[in-house]
Amino acid sequence: MARTYNFSAGPAMLPSAVIARAQQEMMEWHSAGMSVMEMSHRGKDYMSIAEKAEADLREVMAIPSNYKVLFLQGGASSQFAMVPMNLLRGSGGADYLNTGMWSKKAIAEARRYCEVNVAADTSAGGFCAVPEQDSLQLNADAAYLHYTPNETIGGVEFDYLPESGEVPLVADMSSTILSRPLDVSRYGVIYAGAQKNIGPAGLTIVIVREDLIGHAPEQTPAMFSYETHAKADSMYNTPPTYSWYMAGLVFEWIKEQGGLAAMAEVNQRKAGKLYELIDSSDFYANPVEKNGRSWMNVPFTLADAALDGAFLSGAAERGLVTLKGHRSVGGMRASIYNAMPEEGVDTLVEFMRAFEQKNG
């Protein structure tokens, strides 16, 4: 059996050590007489798994005690609606930064609920830059400010944390959570679909400051209210038990690697190797301004798009797969989340050099 270097944007690679551990525990978890998948979420074995996962995430991210961590379903896309449903608190409007395809989706969903003030918009430049703090047209009365720290499709990542004053900051961290240390206390809500940097699809993590819970209007369905899930420790209904368990194994793995500071060091180095090659070549190009380049998703084009097919098949022969770019951008995209080993990036860089030499 040979595992490939899988550059998929999501669902993405998981650490091999995590998959091996899950395989070991698949038929019978510890001495429980059953697989984690078969456990009642209210039994003591599963409760211990769930509690350990939350404790480890809190430790890894240094989440302050006045924040709840929710383990939900529905994906980040459900949060596009749950954020306005829970955070508007009677206010008519919220601020959004429009920096890419995922911001656009979040904005479209919020418009069902409120007046959206687009406080920055980089669409005219093809979403290739991060807006400067000074340029943000923020509304002091906004219920919250929503932004996407890392735009997975465009490969654009904020190199600063937007200052929103008293207005709660809400971040869709689906493709950057756990990639580096961050100050959770600066945020009102952080949310992320699991399938990029946390674990298997099916789990969505929401980290929410306690004072922002309990303000959803009366008619809000129970399943869409943060209060419901916070009060029930994410066990109001059946949570995505197996994905939650797998996420717990990933959190343990991150701790073993040295935590988020160690993740950041490797991630920065991995991304740096790719951008260095792209910038030193006339054959490869990345359109994003240097300060806004993502550590997690590296889109690039070849000088001649007619070579795309040969590039992809040559890469696949070396075990480098899922490099085709998003259909809206074209070219290639290397998603290099925490679980992508540095050797995977080194192998890709070597292949890219050789391909350029032959075809450039």
Ligand X SMILES: *Cc1c(COP(=O)(O)O)cnc(C)c1O
- Cβ(127)–Cβ(147) under 8 Å? no
| Residue from 131, 154, 193, 331 in contact with ligand X (CB under 6 A) | 193
Taking the complex as a whole, the smallest distance from the CB of residue 77 to ligand X amounts, in Å, to 3
Name the one range near ligand X by CB under 6 A: 119-127, 128-136, 169-177, 304-312: 169-177
CA atoms within 13 A on the CB side of 81: 10
CB 171 within 8 A of CB 155: no
Residue 1: how many CB atoms within 10 A of its CB? Answer: 2
Interface pattern 98-127 for ligand X (x via CB under 6 A): ----x-------------------------
Residue whose C-alpha is closest to residue 57's, from 205, 203, 233 = 205
Number of residues counted as binding ligand X (CB under 6 A)? 12
For residue 72 the two structure tokens come to 């939900």
Q: Are 216 and 224 a contacting pair, CB within 8 Å? A: yes
Q: What does the block give as tokens for 50? A: 């769930």
Q: Give the range of 121-129, 172-180, 182-190, 248-256 binding ligand X by CB under 6 A.
A: 172-180
- Give the contact letters, 211-250, x = binds to ligand X (CB under 6 A), - = no: ----------------------------------------
Stretch that binds ligand X, among 156-164, 170-178, 247-255, 306-314 (CB under 6 A): 170-178
**Shortest distance, CB of residue 82 to ligand X, whole angstroms?**
11
Residues 63-102 that bind ligand X (CB under 6 A): 75-77, 102
Tokens in use for 263? 């993740």
The pair of structure tokens assigned to 153 is 């499709």
Write the single-letter amino acid at 104.
K
Nearer to ligand X, 148 or 241 (CB): 148
Least distance (Å) from ligand X to the CB of residue 118? 17
Nearest to 85 by CA among 126, 171, 144: 144
Q: Binding mask 3-42 vs ligand X (x if CB under 6 A, - otherwise)?
A: -------x--------------------------------
Query: Which of residues 86, 174, 197, 335 is near ligand X by CB under 6 A?
Result: 174
Which residue in 124, 128, 132 sits closest to 159, CA to CA? 132
Tokens of 310: 């040969």
Q: Is the preceding peptide bond at 11 cis, omega within 30 degrees of 0?
A: yes
Among 142, 172, 198, 336, binds ligand X (CB under 6 A): 172
Residue among 175 and 301 whose Cβ is closer to ligand X: 175
* Phi, psi angles (nearest 5°) of residue 135: -90, -5
Give CA–CA dist 276/308, Å, rounded: 21
Please identify every residue annotated as catalytic: 102, 172, 196
Q: Compose the 141-160 pattern: x for residues touching ligand X by CB under 6 A, - for all others.
A: -------x---x--------
Q: How far apart are CA 169 and CA 67, in angstroms?
A: 14
Among 8, 99, 175, 179, binds ligand X (CB under 6 A): 175
Minimum Å gap between C-beta 318 and ligand X is 26
Query: Is the Cβ of residue 143 or residue 296 nearer to ligand X in the bound state?
Result: 296
Q: Beta strand 156-157 with 150-151: parallel, antiparallel or unpaired?
A: antiparallel
Phi, psi of 30 (to 5 degrees): 45, -125
Closer to ligand X by CB, 18 or 153: give it.
153
Q: Three-class SS of residue 213? A: coil
Q: How far is 7 from 309, CA to CA, in rounded Å? A: 16
The least CB distance from residue 317 to ligand X, in Å, is 28
- Supply the minimum distance, in Å, between the C-beta of residue 257 and ligand X: 22
- What's the min distance (Å) between Cβ of 205 and ligand X? 10
Instruction: Return residues touching ligand X (CB under 6 A).
Output: 10, 75-77, 102, 148, 152, 172, 174-175, 193, 196
